[in-house]
Amino acid sequence: MKLIPNVICLVISLAYSGVISALGSTESISDELVKVDKPNILLIVADDLGFSDLGAFGGEIETPNLDALATSGVRLTNFYATPSCSPTRSMLLTGQDNHPAGMGAMAEALQTFSILKGKPGYEGYLKPETTTIAEVLSNAGYRTLMSGKWHLGSQPNQQPTEHGFDRAFALMQGGADHFGAGQNGGPALQPATYTENGRPAEFPLGSYSSDVYAERLIDYLNLEDKPDQPFFAYLAFTAPHWPLQAPAELIEKYKDRYNAGPEALRSARFERMKRLGLIDSAVPISSLVVLDDWQKLSEQQRKVESRNMEIYAAMVDSLDQNVGRVLDQLRVSGEYDNTVIIFMSDNGAEGIGARPLIGRTSNSTPPQHKAAVLAAINAGNSDLSKMGTGESFITYGSQWAQAAMAPFRKSKGDTEEGGVRVPAFISGPAIKGQRIISSALSVRDVMPTVLDITHTAYSDVSEAPVTAAGVISMPSAKSWKPILDGSLESVRSDTDAIAWELHLKRGIRVGDWKAVYGKDTGDRSSPSSWKLYNLSDDIAESNDVSAENGQVLERLVAAWGAYAKQNGVFVPGPPQQKSE
């Protein structure tokens, strides 16, 4: 573990990654915030959760525990992650952009994007010189605990315990069979490696992932080795990431709820989101991406597709129940009222179709077993009695994903809103709750926010504030403290940028303007181009206004170029070109 300064101040003074958040005298800090000196922090991350899946965000899935937290706290409707899993986690835990943190690309993607291999910032693991929330809080006297998906490096020197966690039960890969198949080289469609406190560990075969992760975190919370210390707990679920699997009784609970198809689901959620004040009532449903005609599917196809969504809903339901178990433990221990809870998804809903099964068995699976495994899984993917069990390997596809991300365009992997705008909320002591905040926020903000509310100061002025393209301020982390105490509605101005690059796709938002760079279709041979949207009246990104706003686009593209240069982004062609 790296040694870092251990500086604790009752008057918060945070200088982090070039962002100086000097709160000044104690008069600027609410009395309530001062009283809650060292709150516990519970950081919960869902994997590929759709924007409207939770009830508090417009969904019909039963999520009472998360809904209660969200509605009593501050719901964040303009919260941005990155387009995919591990890059988001690197930004979440360090407050840095994903490139300097080492996650310019997912480790898995480096096989596909070979042009990126070996480039600085594209290591595919969290760089050892980065500093995480866990390291800073550990040095400030916090117990630091983790349970769930790590996905930031699997070597001995890349474990959670090497990045500040005292205790950690972790899945090394980006996903796994939810019932434990595939660990230690067993026959399955994807390998799964688990560690505990940096050493090889086993997942209890047959148990369900969300249950296991919650139970292990509760075990850590119950340990009496440091009873007087506050805790920072990171609970990183792998639900509802594919493969779609869930306990049978929960799948049965949602039987026949989705028989009307994705369009009907999206319409119902769309109207609930308007009633809840999550989106503007003036947004027309006609601006949303056109979905496939459900009635053109055969009856059997509709049954299979409906079951896919039933399983997905069961996964989200299970996640919520396990959050409830952790909350119950906090109540029993008397820690609940002194715990700040942050919840988010790591990216937009996963829109890929059925996974290509051939060759996807673990590399260590004996060849004689591969054909049998693949045959069994393929059969289970369309057998209604086996779907959602360990005998299936299912995704739920672009139509359900687009319904879950309404009113946004596209889904996981894209820099459009559907790939990067995710559900999030924060609740707990010293937070002025029962509010919805619609200003633009970033996953990078979590670290300075946590350090602010725990009264922990940490200085790492490794990059000075940068302004590009005249008045546009480069992406940086911002503490939400002024939002949480109710003094401000936003911590960013109309000239502050939020920018993305992942797997050669690009995006930048400045004020209400959003520019994205990528391909219109899945055809890799088609040219990429920049498009411009005004999110103030087009959150669905349905109308490219670059032709009539050429100077705006030029300014945003130049700012993105400055961001790329500042963060070591590999650019295969001039970023200012409209196509390449």
Cite the active site residues.
Answer: 85, 151
Helices (H), 126-275: 133-139, 209-222, 248-253, 262-275
Nearest CA among 130, 132, 123, 82 for reference residue 104: 123
d(CA 277, CA 458): 37
Contact 407, 295 (CB under 8 A): no
Centre a 10 Å sphere on the Cβ of residue 157 and count the other Cβ atoms it contains. Answer: 10
d(CA 87, CA 97): 9
Q: What are phi and psi of 19, to 5 degrees?
A: -110, 110
Contact 454, 38 (CB under 8 A): yes
Nearest CA among 98, 110, 200 for reference residue 156: 200
Between the alpha carbon of residue 430 and those of residues 33, 338, 426, 439, the distances in Å are 5, 9, 11, 20
d(CA 528, CA 47): 28
Contact 104, 119 (CB under 8 A): yes
Contact 241, 47 (CB under 8 A): yes
d(CA 418, CA 80): 10
Tell me the pairing of strands 459-460 and 13-16: parallel
Amino acid symbol at 558: A
Q: How many CA atoms lie less than 13 Å away from 67 in the CB half-sphere?
A: 17
d(CA 408, CA 419): 9
Amino acid symbol at 40: N
In angstroms, the first-to-last Cα distance of the chain is: 44
Nearest CA among 237, 245, 236 for reference residue 182: 245
Amino acid symbol at 491: V
Centre a 10 Å sphere on the Cβ of residue 50 and count the other Cβ atoms it contains. Answer: 34
d(CA 501, CA 569): 7
Q: How many CA atoms lie less than 13 Å away from 366 in the CB half-sphere?
A: 3
d(CA 580, CA 132): 37
Q: Output b/e per residue, 397-432; b: 16+ Cβ within 10 A.
A: bbbbbbbbbbbbbbbbbbbbbbbbbbbbbbbbbbbe
Chain-centroid distance, C-alpha 534 = 24
The pair of structure tokens assigned to 386 is: 């086996």
Q: What are phi and psi of 51, to 5 degrees?
A: -60, -40
